[in-house]
Structure 1
């Protein structure tokens, strides 16, 4: 039925339904049953009939069972290219299978991935037997070119698998797609380690997409259980490797792994197998733990870093002991084998040291981020001190770690964010570091720490979206900050300013910067810089204003020059001073002291001073009755107007006059309607105010009868 799925009119989704809910209609020709009469048919077309049917868009009927698939052929670096001739022959067919998958439409792609088990098999075959970054230097010419093509297309297949929507008509819900991936084991938790090892540096987008899906917080119970199985398996492998190299204890159980048992006679090939297996294990752990923070908690709880230091100290010492004082005749039949073994040992040691440092960096980051939460911070601090104290017992390991990542610098950094650090334990750690063996003693054991050579990694960068330019363009300030931050995660003891200067010299290639710093191969001008330098970003350039004009060119180049011209300020100042007539000689002084004036009744101002007139007495002309003098009161107290003591009821006319004077003094009338006494004529303003009052008096009450009556009662004018 594959030919049907190739027809464009077969896949239609006008209602924009998800792929798993869609049904497709197709037409096919079916042969009619043979006639029982045995007579020959009049026409061949009567022997066939056109039929139609509807099936689900996701169904195994859409795939072609006759399609051929070819397994990936691994490359063996220990043999010559001629013996790897099958690598070219078989992998060209494997590359055709990958191209076919990427050319399928969304509907076809998901049907083949889900319902064709051979597709899953060939993809997993590549992920489980790739050419790792430390072996790719053995590929040359057309071998390297073919492998790079396969490497890119496998990544693009899985990127498409994890892209759940290609258009409005071709999509699936994320929950449904993830369920299909898990049910059909297209991606498993152990395979995530292979993805991290292969694409952690070259296709970080793919690794991040896998981590977001498989380590979602809603699936915490599931992934913690799977991670526990992975780390149990890793511990088992470490224990078995240690047993094969150093010897098993009595009554210990031996479990077969990917290496042969230790031969009775020294065998260089067996040593190479062991060192490669060690390197694969350490590199896989380093890549996985560096990419997945959720795995670090589980690994710490299971004691992975505590086991690594003991294993490292014992296993590598025995390996160097095997190679020490060995006759060159033992390697005569294997040219270059001893150098390869030493190279694999050096890179493996570096990977184990980096695995341990991943845990240390994780704890330091959490100590800093937990600032303010003392209980949480103390918990991370305790784990850090226990981890370092445990590593101090393994002299060989702690020497290598101290040379790669300074512990004293880490303690200094932590003390800045954790003021209550245990000084006794810190002093013990510093004292142990001071007693580490000298470099001469370690070199006598031929245990020089070898850093991984970054130039071995020549895998192409995967670009999920085509059309991206590969030419170098200087990063902006945000990108510089992100690149420097990634370097500081590996080298937290350096200043960000020093890191930025190094990145500028290496075209912002973080891997080359890390390698140059660790190998102490920085250019001379960088070695002279302060390694604790702080990065100060440059100030953004101000945009230059552009003056638009017509006709004659203005006298100023720009707006800034125009605003800076202060030549007219003096003329403006002189003009203001000349036109100002304000004087401040007769202004009332609030702090004037009149206690010693000869005439206390005189005004504060002269008669001809019109700036301010003295306030007149509102009660002038009324009879004032003073209380008898009292010794308790001050003689200089001002007398106040009082009502006559013998007045049983004041004259209403006097009372009205006094109330009117008080009202006018407090609230001067704006619209006078009283005017002059009758018969003397009225002003124009009074007449206008009377008209306005007559017109608008119906809009509101002109007095409050209740309050007025109450006021009269209080004065005794109306009997209660």
Structure 2
């Protein structure tokens, strides 16, 4: 008990702060002692503070019947506990907050399990049950107001002239004892919300007070914003790690949950609302978001995880409420990006804004939805007016990229090719209100099966697991984008619940093309070619030859006609006759004909003798008796040819030419060459016998039996002595002749 000398009306007459204030107490033995104002001695309550339970059994569904009665009993106890804390004096209140863990745990538990401000159940006073729910909502409102008053008291340093705390001690008590933390502020923001202006003013006051009392909360707030990147990655892993036991550790499909992805959607929705509310309360966090590149993370999450989440939920339950919650998540994330872009636009940070929009171009789903809700044309025009230094081609590139993404995006909702649509399961009026409030375009359809080769992917899965049925594999492939993901899910035994319960030996029965053909034409055929491009009954111009009678149209009627067909030979003959026809024209004016090819004309003067002369030489070489006079004659003739050629060349060079001639007319050269050939080989060119020279006659001599002259005997001896050097066919002389003419062999 307090000492009688101390006045109960004024426990602190000297108006000392809480850290220096002490109270004099006298025990049962009469001994007085001084107890600090902030001490565990003042925690006299033996019963711990109760823990709050959530009013909602599941998202947007309030508890009813016995569960509602249980909640009412727990909520009344919590209300009494909070009223008790508020009724305490300052030093007792702070002693309970610091030394009684259950007191602060009661506040934290309530905020963690509070109803989110953006989802409140609609209640009408039409029945007894609705009246119970209305009373429960009223009680919940009282609890929320009490919790807010407790947090405001924690943020208040001076309650009266005699009850106050020094700023240093106040800051230390809040931060060191974790009485207020950033997660608690986030939960408080979601519980109070910004539905009314007074709520926003209240939250702004609390945030300002906390950051003013302890500046370290500013650093914690930035770290909390940085956590969102890890949250996005965690949600993506949970969505990819689907299974019978829930997505990424989530609750299984039992009780009030409709799909194993409900917890992921709720977490994403809470993150989106919290982040947007933080930007309203603390606009300076925009700089932190820019440093952390959080907008790019939101765009990637929007483009990768949201469509996958939408598709998986629709596959499990097309009428799940989580599809609508996911649309709200999209709306809030777009609002966050819009707030960041508006802040950059207002602050004149044009370069950062253009770079941000360029980096987000890779997320096509995000780009389409953002462009449809917030067209960039107006923002870019405002940006050019405020930041004239921004280059126009960068702005045009960004605007054209966003516009092109919208124009190339197919209209319609995701999974529109499936039977039904998620919008059909909602109430029409409620869905219209959702679309008007969200003003967000539906997501484009995920990868459609038309662009995939399902048969090829089925073969790939069968190569790895041949014991599975084709029907089961096809059903699995409809849930995944490729065969690799399907194989990984089967091997990890991480399939969706409906696929996990399916018979893995399910047989695939392909659809009968006759049914489709019959529905289109009304005629049912029984031919393997019915309905294809060769079907003359369904195609006006079939890709085939209609054969009537024997043979093909225009073909031979029998084997004899087939063998007598020489059309191909005639075509080849006509083709090669065109190469033999060379048109020659006489130019009276003496001009050079450019069409004449004289590329090899220069070699004519160095060619071998005419064919008739060569034939005569071969006949002479094959004669039964050969003499050395032939070789000598040939050598003499070759020497004469060389002399004539050199003489003709000199005469050609010395011949006078007109100044207008660039080169001599090839016709004149050919005529002169022909004259030389005729003058030299004219007598032997006719193909007759070659007259024997003196050398040849000397070797041959007279007929046998008539005697030989002395000169003949001498010539024969010379030939016999030198025949080894010249050979029988004059090979060395022929080779030397070829080399002299440039004909290497």
Given the two structures, how large is their TM-score scaled by the length of structure 1?
0.51
Q: Structure 2 CA distance, aligned partners of 1:262 and 1:313?
A: 26
Which structure's residues are more often helix, by fraction?
2
Name the counterpart of 1:226: 220
Deviation at 1:218, TM superposition (A): 8.4
Higher relative contact order, chain-length normalized (CA < 8 Å, sep 6+): 1
**Structure 1 residues 290-346: Cα deviation after superposition (integer angstroms, max 9, x where no partner):** 32234332232121111110111112211232245x4xxx65xxxxx9252222111
1:106 is displaced (CA, Å) by: 2.3
* Mapped pair 1:178 → 2:171: yes
CA contact (8 A) 1:193 1:287 kept: no
Determine the structure 2 residue equivalent to 1:462: none
Corresponding residue for 2:343? 362
How large is the Cα RMSD of the aligned pairs? 3.7
Residues 237 and 257 of structure 1 are in contact (CA less than 8 Å); yes or no, is this contact kept in structure 2?
no
The residue that corresponds to 1:306 in the other structure is: 296
**What are the ranges of 5 or more consecutive residues in structure 1 without an aligned counterpart?**
31-49, 249-255, 332-336, 368-379, 457-511, 521-720
SS in 2 for 1:26: strand
The 5-angstrom pairing of residues 372-521 of structure 1 reads 380-437=349-406, 441-445=410-414
C-alpha distance in structure 2 between counterparts of 1:394 and 1:58, whole Å: 56
- Tell me, yes or no, if structure 1 residue 241 matches structure 2 residue 235: yes
Distance of aligned partners of 1:289 and 1:115 in 2 relative to their CA distance in 1, 3 Å threshold: same
TM-score by length of 2: 0.50
Compute the displacement of 1:215 (Å).
3.6
Change (3 A) 1:422 1:54: same
Structure 1 partner of 2:139: 146
Q: Contact 2:52 / 2:110 at 8 angstroms: preserved in 1?
A: yes
| Cα distance, 1:77 vs structure 2 | 3.6
Matched, 1:75 2:65: no
The answer (yes or no) to whether the contact 1:98–1:154 under 8 Å persists in 2 is yes
Extract structure 1 runs of 4+ deviating beyond 6 A: 446-450, 514-518
* Distance in 2 of aligned mates of 1:416 and 1:184: 51
2:120 paired with 1:126: no
Q: Is the 8 A contact 2:175 2:181 kept in 1?
A: yes
Equivalent of 1:317, from 283, 307, 313? 307
Cα shift at 1:347: 1.0
- CA distance in structure 2 between the partners assigned to 1:311 and 1:180 by the alignment: 39
Q: How does 1:245-284 map to 2 (within 5 A)?
A: 245-246=239-240, 259-260=249-250, 268-284=258-274
From the superposition, tell whether residues 214 and 383 of structure 1 become closer, same or farther in structure 2 (CA, over 3 Å).
Answer: farther
CA distance in 2, matches of 1:298, 1:355: 13
**Aligned-partner Cα distance in 1 for 2:247–2:334:** 24
Q: Please say which structure displays the higher CA radius of gyration.
A: 2
How far apart, in 1, do the equivalents of 2:98 and 2:179 lie?
8
Please state how far the C-alpha of 1:121 moved relative to its aligned partner. Answer: 0.8
Q: Contact 1:282 / 1:352 at 8 angstroms: preserved in 2?
A: yes
Would the aligned equivalents of 2:313 and 2:323 in 1 still touch at CA under 8 Å? no
8 Å CA contact 1:74, 1:87 repeated in 2: yes
Measure how far apart 1:62 and its partner are: 1.4
For the residue of structure 2 that corresponds to 1:444, the secondary structure is: coil
CA offsets 1:68-119 (integer angstroms, 9 cap, x no match):
3111111334265233442211111011111111122223222222222111
CA distance 1:93–1:339, change in 2 (3 Å): same
- Structure-2 separation of matches of 1:440 and 1:303: 26
Deviation readout 1:454-496 (Å, 9 max, x if unpaired): x99xxxxxxxxxxxxxxxxxxxxxxxxxxxxxxxxxxxxxxxx
Pick closer, same or farther for the CA change 1:259–1:410 going to 2, 3 Å.
farther
CA distance in 1, matches of 2:79, 2:249: 31
Report the secondary structure of 2:368's partner residue: helix
User: 1-side partners of 2:205 and 2:413: how far apart?
Assistant: 47
Q: 2:148 aligns with which of 155, 174, 196?
A: 155
**Structure 1 Cα separation of the partners of residues 102 and 213 of structure 2:** 32
The alpha-carbon distance between structure 1 residues 199 and 323, as it changes in their structure 2 partners (threshold 3 A), is closer
Residue matched to 1:54: 34
Whether contact under 8 Å (1:10, 1:25) holds in the other structure is no
Distance 2:435 2:202 in 1: 25
